[in-house]
Structure 1
Amino acid sequence: MFPLLRSASPPRGPRSRVVSLRRAVAAAAALVTLAAVPAAADDREKSGEGITGHCAAMSRLKVPGAERQRNVCLGELTTAGTVASGHTDKADWAGLTPAALAVPSGVPGIQIDGYFPDTSSTNTNHGWNHDAQFVIRLPDRWNGGLVVAGSPGVREQYANDRAIGDWVLARGYAFAATDKGNTGAGFHRDGHAPGDAIAEWNTRVTQLTRAARAVIVQRYLRPPARTLATGMSNGGYLVRWQLENHPELYDGGVDWEGTLWREEGPNLLTFLPPALAAYPIYAKGGEGSEQAHQQMTAAGFPAGSEFLWPFHHQYYWDLTQRIYREELDPDYDGPQEAGTPFCTPGTPSCDSDYEYGGRPQGVRDAVSKIALTGRIGKPLITVHGTLDVLLPISRDSDVYARMVSDAGRGRLFRYYRVEGGTHVDSLFDVFPNELRPLLPCHRAAFTALENWIGRGVQPPPGHTVPRPAAATPEDLLTKCPLTS
């Protein structure tokens, strides 16, 4: 689900729905089926339009179910060109990748921006003030594949452009991404009942996948040979959910530190409140600090990650707890919206005192709408950092790996625990001697998935990927061998 916001810099102007911290951070429309598209492709072949040439067939591309779309022919689909041309939004992906990450180029093609029918309006990209926005990029030199991603946190549709989109486009994939149907720190205002806003995220990814597959047939005259789902944080959760609930749409997925939702827990509403209560006592030092440290580690925050706690306390834990608790348990603070920032335990309706296990059954019912089961239906690779202190690994992917095994789907799953990885790769720039970026590990996992589903090459067994003691920052930014 995270990083929460779109940038690590202070909020600017009306786009930001958060004023207390900087940016460190609805049913689907009816879709035409793929079966209806090849006829149009046949017509184009008869007319001589074909599939070759820069931006071929652009004027005829129609996104099924879209209420609005804008097709453009670009000389560069990666951020090497879209930043200057205005076809991405840097604020969407700011703070998600290391500063030294190389930017590929040389990918001309078609970009389609648009939105599906929706009733909420938190996404202001293009001045549309309309949610359920998407972007689809179709390279001239296509490798036959499609990659679909949902945004991390509550960011918008361009959030994956630097971390994922650039790289897969440079490899020849078509790329489609969605804002998930609601954005910003007030995302919980969407929907009619608790849990509805998050449940819409899943619907929107399914909707976009079907639509993007249809557009690919229109553009290239054949369906994708492989459709892969991937994403980080909330985007990783979406990969898990899609492979559990709509495996027919995908050939596999890569989950980058996906969020775990379970009705019985753990989930973030079980481990964030103890951190909010204990961290200030630990940070103050003196009497009670040792016990507070024990409470932190007992909640799942690993010993050795203490250097990351101040940043996460200031920018992530408090807001995350309040807005997701508001989405799933709005009655906790009555008419107040999303609690009191940084409240002291004992304050009425303080989120530091929140106890998920003691809340009414209705709260667990809301979580059950979005809960995961582990019953994946296609190959899935998960990568997660051992020093993640937003979604602690022992309370998240360790648990999900057991769920997959218990569901009898272990043969479809590989899990790589990355030593020194944390939730936000930009922190590698601040702590290069303590951390390692997960981005190269995601790329290694993606390549392993390609070989798994394309050539039948089994990935290495799941294990903890060590942080090489002698590795330079440059090595860590470009290499992450998954061999044990």
Structure 2
Amino acid sequence: MTPLPHALARATALVVLAGGALVGAPAGAAPRTAAPGADRPDPTAAGWCADRAGLVVKGAEHQVSACLGDLTTAGTVASGHTVQSDWNGLHAAGTRNPSGVPGIQLDGYFPDTSTTNTHHGWDHDAQFVIRLPEEWNGGIVVTGAPGVRGQYANDFIIGDWVLSKGYAFASTDKGNTGAAYYRDGSSPGGSIREWHRRVTELTRATKRVVRQAYGAQADRTYMAGISNGGYLTRWQLENKPQLFDGGLDWEGTLFRAEGPNLLTFLPTALKNYPAYAATGDPAAHDAIIAAGFAPGSEFLWAFHHSYYWDLTQRIYREELDPTWDGALDAGIPFCASGTPSCDADYNYASRPRAVKDAVRSVSLTGRIRRPMITVHGSLDTLLPPAVDSDVYDALVDEAGSGRMHRYYLVEDGTHTDGLYPAYPDRLRPLLPCARDAFDLLTAWVEDGVTPPPDGFRPRPTGGDLLDTCEL
């Protein structure tokens, strides 16, 4: 899961949490920039795209469309058809991405009553983007935004890659965005439960619009996502398998009513990190390790304490247990243990049954019914694998679904590849491993090629870590 927007600095975090700056309305009157280096006919002229001007996203309350010379971020940044702040920080600087994919982009929103997503000046949640490449391979990839980001969050790390392979690509903001996503008017757990519905809604709508655009049903539909998007991959393959043929789970969040979940390990980190940072207190260090954080991840603790642990704990606790802090709205930032209603002192085990019921309403079971590959970094310091994917892998096996699951724990990967340039000798990007996993998944589903067995994937001693990975 992606409990909060990924950010490399507080200023960046605030921009992301605010929903992202408007890059440009998809259907604006300003001239479009031609696809860099494109050697194909301009799809904005008469031809494939222009012949499909009447595409309709069923169920959408509002939609706009555009013929673009390049649907990848290399083109959409210039043309105003992405919001870069949605995806900043999720990939390592210098990552090479494909480009030059002409086609149709559909932007819009489904009916909703909340207004946390301000993209395009719409002030309307349940926003989506659908991209239809001119050269289609017969498949669809659906994603949900990580953390509390908007619908363009996966454009660079997933969209560019799958579009270059010929897949139609669709992504949703999940129905609520930003650090106050829990204020959408629903009961505890309701904002997260809406994520499920929005992915299902977009998947069905995308299948229909694909039939309109290409005159044929999709041969394959895959779900993919990072962090909260990985959680949604797990949930959809457990609960809506009829819509999908397989899924890529990149460090998905784990909710379990009996634990573990975010609210069982983040408070321990918040309570003990100040003492560890001030004096190196061994007891505080050992408490954080015992909560599930990996030995060797200590060099990442200062960053995560500043930008992830506190905000993630407070906003997800407010969503699932708003009574903990009374009338306060998501608690007290960076409060010291002992402060009344401080999230550093939150004890999930002692909370009333209603809290456990709220978590149960968004819990995972492990009963996946389509092939799925999980990739997780050994140094993930927001969702440590010991209390996340290790546990979920065991749940899948206990549920009798182990034959449909592969789990690769990648040495030195962490929650966001944006940290890699700061620690190139201690971290490695997970994006190339996620791409390898997607290729393994499609070969498994479409060609019956069994993926390598589960296991730990050690850091290579050489080679290009930025753009390659061998699972």
Measured against the shorter chain, the TM-score band is: over 0.9
Separation in 2, partners of 1:13, 1:373: 32
Q: Is the 8 A contact 2:3 2:312 kept in 1?
A: no
**Gaps (5+ residues) in structure 2?**
22-45
Residue number in structure 2 paired with 1:481: 470
Once the two structures are TM-superposed, the CA of residue 211 in structure 1 deviates from its matched residue by: 0.2
Residue number in structure 1 paired with 2:2: 2
Please give the secondary structure, in 1, of the residue aligned with 2:465.
helix
Separation in 2, partners of 1:353, 1:6: 25
Q: Is the 8 A contact 2:87 2:152 kept in 1?
A: yes
Once the two structures are TM-superposed, the CA of residue 18 in structure 1 deviates from its matched residue by: 6.1
Residue number in structure 2 paired with 1:40: none
Residue number in structure 1 paired with 2:439: 447
Pick one of 242, 257, 261 that aligns with 2:255: 261
Separation in 1, partners of 2:447, 2:397: 24
Residue number in structure 2 paired with 1:144: 138
**For the structure 1 residues 452 and 2, does the alpha-carbon distance in structure 2 shift closer, same or farther, using more than 3 Å as the test?**
same
Pick one of 331, 336, 340 that aligns with 1:339: 331
Pick one of 192, 216, 221 that aligns with 1:222: 216
Aligned-partner residue type, residue 355 of structure 2: V
Residue number in structure 2 paired with 1:250: 244
Deviations 1:193-228 (A, max 9, x none): 100000000100000000000000000011111000
Separation in 1, partners of 2:145, 2:311: 18
Once the two structures are TM-superposed, the CA of residue 238 in structure 1 deviates from its matched residue by: 0.2
Once the two structures are TM-superposed, the CA of residue 17 in structure 1 deviates from its matched residue by: 5.2
Please give the secondary structure, in 1, of the residue aligned with 2:2.
coil
Separation in 1, partners of 2:216, 2:170: 17
What percent identity do the matched residue pairs reach? 62
**For the structure 1 residues 368 and 180, does the alpha-carbon distance in structure 2 shift closer, same or farther, using more than 3 Å as the test?**
same
Residue number in structure 1 paired with 2:161: 167
Aligned-partner residue type, residue 267 of structure 1: N
Residue number in structure 2 paired with 1:372: 364
Once the two structures are TM-superposed, the CA of residue 191 in structure 1 deviates from its matched residue by: 3.5
Q: Is the 8 A contact 1:382 1:415 kept in 2?
A: yes
Separation in 2, partners of 1:10, 1:103: 27
Please give the secondary structure, in 2, of the residue aligned with 1:333.
coil
Say if 2:97 is the partner of 1:107.
Answer: no
Once the two structures are TM-superposed, the CA of residue 3 in structure 1 deviates from its matched residue by: 6.1
Separation in 2, partners of 1:63, 1:299: 45
Residue number in structure 1 paired with 2:397: 405
Pick one of 397, 405, 410 that aligns with 1:418: 410
Q: Is the 8 A contact 2:13 2:307 kept in 1?
A: no
Say if 2:184 is the partner of 1:184.
Answer: no
Q: CA RMSD in A?
A: 1.8
Pick one of 326, 329, 332 that aligns with 2:318: 326
Q: Is the 8 A contact 1:17 1:184 kept in 2?
A: yes
Aligned-partner residue type, residue 226 of structure 1: R
Separation in 2, partners of 1:149, 1:72: 21
Say if 2:462 is the partner of 1:471.
Answer: yes
Say if 2:426 is the partner of 1:437.
Answer: no
Q: Is the 8 A contact 1:75 1:107 kept in 2?
A: yes
Deviations 1:297-321 (A, max 9, x none): 0001111010000000000000000
Aligned-partner residue type, residue 282 of structure 1: Y
Q: Is the 8 A contact 2:8 2:419 kept in 1?
A: no
Separation in 2, partners of 1:57, 1:212: 19
Separation in 1, partners of 2:399, 2:196: 21
Please give the secondary structure, in 2, of the residue aligned with 1:147.
strand
**Gaps (5+ residues) in structure 1?**
24-51
Q: Is the 8 A contact 2:7 2:16 kept in 1?
A: no
Separation in 2, partners of 1:76, 1:16: 25
Residue number in structure 2 paired with 1:120: 114
Pick one of 116, 122, 126 that aligns with 1:132: 126
Q: Is the 8 A contact 2:97 2:160 kept in 1?
A: yes
Separation in 1, partners of 2:18, 2:145: 18
Deviations 1:246-272 (A, max 9, x none): 000000000000000001000010000
Residue number in structure 2 paired with 1:64: 58
Once the two structures are TM-superposed, the CA of residue 54 in structure 1 deviates from its matched residue by: 3.2
Detail structure 1 runs of 4+ shifted over 3 Å in the superposition. Answer: 6-19
Pick one of 38, 48, 71 that aligns with 1:77: 71
Aligned-partner residue type, residue 344 of structure 2: S
Please give the secondary structure, in 1, of the residue aligned with 2:406.
strand
Separation in 1, partners of 2:257, 2:51: 47
